[in-house]
Amino acid sequence: MNDSSTEPQSTNFIRSIIDADLASGKHKKVITRFPPEPNGYLHIGHAKSICLNFGIAQDYPSAVCHLRFDDTNPGKEKSEYIDAIKEDVRWLGFSWDDNSHHTSDYFDQLYAYAVQLVKQDKAYVDSLSAADTKAYRGNLTEPGIDSPFRGRSIEENIDLLERMKTGEFAEGEHVLRAKIDMAAPNMNMRDPAIYRIKHMAHPMTGDKWHIYPMYDFAHCVSDAIEGITHSLCTLEFEDHRPLYDWFLDELKTPAHPQQIEFSRLNLDYTVMSKRKLYELVEDGHVHGWNDPRLPTLSGMRRRGYTANAIRDFCSRIGVTKKDNIIEMSVLENSLREDLNSVAPRALAVLDPIKLIIDNYPEDQEETLAGVNHPKNPDAGTRDIPFSKTLYIELSDYMDDAPKKFFRLTVGREVRLRFAYYVTCTHVVKDDSGNVTEVHCRYDPETRGGKSEDGRKVKGTIHWVSAQHAVTAEVRLYDRLFTIPAPVAEKERDFKEFINIDSAQVLANCQLEASLLNANTTAYQFERQGYFCLDSVDSKPGSLVFNRIVTLRDSWAKKK
Ligand code: ATP
Ligand code: MG
């Protein structure tokens, strides 16, 4: 397995089941699977399932995890999605070796199993209209009614099924159904569909098939064919488990995997279903599946999330059967923790104003040493050019500032990070009263930001030398939605709650010169947060940075 794989995950109830199965000898080798439908990009919810399934494969001797594309829905599925899914799983630090499969690999076997069910009189071809099928199904309080076609002979069923397969009938004319119990309290057991007619070519099997298997049938049989031992899925499949077991029991498949359900990951202030993400992308509310505001793994990667942080988050939230909504700040804290330990520091002014040091010689320049990482001496220092005219943050100056404002106001002294102490003398304003220049005098005896006489200053501000600065665009991102649970508002369209201020673009940011050679790793812009180059829009000569996350949980404060 991949080097970047991490420390073993903390244990959970599923791992306890596996431990017991290994101890009792029920299984010698554990096989899990991650079965995405290639109808969209993966999101952070999928990461939970990936870390669970592939994590087990990493931690148990000789265990493996299969990547299986659940491609039974031609029409919605695209090879673009398959490639993106593989990239995301790899990025998270997992590998599947030779174990990448498609449900469509098993179409022949699935069909043979369906024929077997018919021969056992456990499946039949139904020819009710869609409306009748629904009416006959009953509801939670009323039992269903047998279809008049339920009594067809095995021979007739075999004949019809064969002709469905070769494309003789129109879509909706017939379906193959399991023969279970139309009065079963569990609606999933009321003769569920096994195959439906669909005259549509498939990306893998071309126009060979005119019928495609339903999820509940295809999934358990594919699991059995692959010898999966533990089939882990989310809680909404709990009611499908009796059907999962029914198919495998009736078919006497060589393996009978155990389905175990766990709760899905929900995060606040976002949406987490491929269908809804697709809507946001298609309707242009975001710029593609990898928009840095989306909870897709490609969007998060572009934003600057690290695979480490996501794995750490998945391990912290654990795996249980309890339904809940996790706060975004939990994810962001995993991210901050990882970035804080790895991100080199840099100085960047996002909303610049000029600071002029009146007593600094006009044509003088010097080089100061910037510490790359305060907690890691091995990270060394970098050269930062210093000169008479600097940029500082507009918000670091204030007229008539209160005592607690430890930044610049006339008469107040601050430390310029890594440089000198400066005292503000006056400012220049334009006709509308906006400050355009802050003037100050520096103390040449404080080079490196230390004073010999032990004089203390409370505030340290960041700066960049104007003539050396690199101009860049910086994108600040905020929550994509204005309320914690946009999809819970059943009466309203979740898109009504999109935060229209979720992306703020600052075009004239001034960065320290070393960032001209920025690579794709994350930086901490001191006092600002963590930033990385935008992998899509940044070009040499016109750099674009994304804010990955702020330094502290500013959202908690806002609330
Ligand atoms: P979506 O609702 O986003 O379309 P899905 O479950 O239909 O999700 P699949 O591609 O079928 O998407 O999912 C692949 C695997 O990922 C499944 O085993 C599913 O249970 C799991 N999964 C999907 N969403 C989550 C989630 N939010 N939390 C945990 N696991 C998830
Ligand atoms: Mg789905």
Domain stop point among 462, 481, 512:
462
Res. 556 pLDDT band, cuts 50 70 90: low
**Using one digit for the tens of pLDDT, what is the confidence trace for 101-142?**
999 999 999 999 999 999 999 999 999 999 999 999 999 999
**What average pLDDT does this structure show over 354-367?**
97
Q: Is 73 in the pocket of ligand 1 (CB under 6 A)?
A: no
For residue 211, the SS3 value is: strand
Say whether pLDDT at 10 is over 80.
no
- 1 pLDDT band, cuts 50/70/90, is very low
Boundary (domain end) residue, out of 462, 479, 506: 462
Give me the pLDDT at residue 554, please. Answer: 67
Are 390 and 452 members of one domain?
A: yes
Q: Judge if the beta carbon of residue 352 lies within 6 A of ligand 1.
A: no
Q: Is the pLDDT of residue 557 over 70?
A: no
Q: What is the mean pLDDT of residues 80-90?
A: 97
- C-alpha 32/C-alpha 57 separation (Å) is 7
Q: CA–CA separation, 103 vs 105, rounded Å?
A: 5
Cβ–ligand 1 contact at 240 (below 6 Å) = no
| Residue 345 among the catalytic residues | no
For ligand 1, atom 28, the nearest C-alpha belongs to: 264
Ligand 1 pocket test: which of 37, 41, 42, 46 has the largest number of ligand atoms within 8 Å of its C-beta? 46
Q: Is 49 in the pocket of ligand 1 (CB under 6 A)?
A: yes
pLDDT of residue 314: 97
- Which ligand 1 atom is at minimum distance from the Cα of 277? 3
Give the chain's length: 559
At 291-329, the pLDDT tens digits run: 999 999 999 999 999 999 999 999 999 999 999 899 999
Ligand 1 centre to CA of 274 (Å) is 9
Give the whole-angstrom CA distance, residue 429 versus residue 441: 18
Is the same domain home to 455 and 483? no
> Does residue 46 lie in a domain region?
no
Residue 522 has pLDDT above 70, yes or no: yes
Ligand 1 mean position, distance from CA 55 (Å): 17
Answer yes or no: is the C-beta of 233 below 6 A from any ligand 1 atom: yes
- Residue 68 in contact with ligand 1 by CB distance below 6 A: no
Statement to judge: residues 456 and 474 lie in one domain: no
CA 201, CA 457: separation in Å to the nearest integer?
A: 73
- Active-site residue flag, 177: no
Tabulate helix, strand, coil % of the chain (nearest 5).
Answer: 30, 25, 45
Q: What is the predicted pLDDT for the residue at 361?
A: 97
From the CB of 302, is ligand 1 less than 6 Å away?
Answer: no
518 vs 505: which has the higher pLDDT: 505
Same domain? 302 vs 443: no
Indicate which residue of 48, 152, 177, 274 is catalytic.
Answer: 274
CA of 386 to the centre of ligand 1 (A): 53
Q: Compute the distance from residue 48 Cα to the ligand 1 centre, in Å.
A: 9
207 within some domain: yes
CATH of the domain at 338: 2.40.240.10
Scored b (16 or more CB within 10 A) or e, 398-431 reads eeebeeeebbbbbebbbbbbbbbbbebeebeeee
Task: Report the pLDDT averaged over residues 181-189.
Answer: 98
297 lines ligand 1 (CB under 6 A): no
426 and 515, same structural domain? no
Give the closest ligand to the alpha carbon of residue 38.
1
Is the beta carbon of 38 within 6 A of some atom in ligand 1? no
Q: Is the beta carbon of 37 within 6 A of some atom in ligand 1? A: yes
Q: Tell me, yes or no, whether 11 lies in a domain.
A: no
Mean pLDDT in residue range 153-182: 98
CA-nearest residue, atom 1 of ligand 1? 273
- Mean pLDDT score, 69-92: 95
Of 74-83, 365-374, 528-537, the poorest mean pLDDT is in: 74-83
What spacing in Å lies between the alpha carbon of 37 and ligand 2's midpoint? 6
Model confidence at 454, pLDDT cuts 50, 70, 90, reads confident
* Same domain for 521 and 492: yes
Q: 6 lies in a domain?
A: no
Q: What is the mean pLDDT of residues 257-274?
A: 97
**pLDDT at site 520:** 73
Q: Is the CB of 317 under 6 A from ligand 1?
A: no
Sequence-distant (6+) residues with CB within 8 A of 257 are 220, 223, 224, 228, 229, 230, 231, 248
pLDDT at position 6, please?
43
Q: Whose CA is nearest to atom 22 of ligand 1?
A: 46
- Nearest ligand, CA 40: 1
On whether both 336 and 402 belong to a single domain, the answer is no
* Residue 9 is assigned to a structural domain of this protein: no
Q: Is residue 236 part of a domain?
A: no
Say whether pLDDT at 63 is over 90. Answer: yes
Taking the CA of 223 as reference, the closest ligand is 1
* Whether residue 317 is found in the same domain as residue 399: no
What pLDDT shows up at residue 108? 98
Q: Over the chain, what is the mean pLDDT?
A: 95
The answer to whether residues 375 and 339 belong to one domain is: no
Q: Are residues 339 and 474 in the same domain?
A: yes
The ligand 1 atom at the shortest distance from the C-alpha of residue 53 is 18
Residue whose CA lies nearest to ligand 1 atom number 16:
46
**pLDDT value at residue 5:** 40
* 161 in any annotated domain: yes
Q: What CATH number is attached to the domain comprising 177?
A: 3.90.800.10
Residue 263 alpha carbon to ligand 2 centre in Å: 15
Host domain of residue 429: 348-462
**Residue ID of nearest Cα to ligand 1 atom 8:** 273
7 pLDDT band, cuts 50/70/90, is very low
Domain count within the chain: 3
Q: Please say if 134 is a catalytic residue.
A: no
Q: Which of 215, 249, 273 is the last residue of a domain?
A: 215
Please report the pLDDT score of residue 289 as a whole number: 97
Q: What is the 3-state secondary structure (H, E, C) of 249-296?
A: HHHCCCCCCEEEEECCCCECCCCCCHHHHHHHHHCCCCCCCCCCCCCE
397 with 440, same domain: the answer is yes
Q: Whose CA is nearest to atom 3 of ligand 1?
A: 273
User: Is the domain of 339 the same as that of 357?
Assistant: no
Return the pLDDT at 69: 98
What average pLDDT does this structure show over 444-452? 93
What angle (nearest 5°) sits at the alpha carbon of residue 38, between those of residues 239 and 290? 115
146 part of a folded domain:
yes
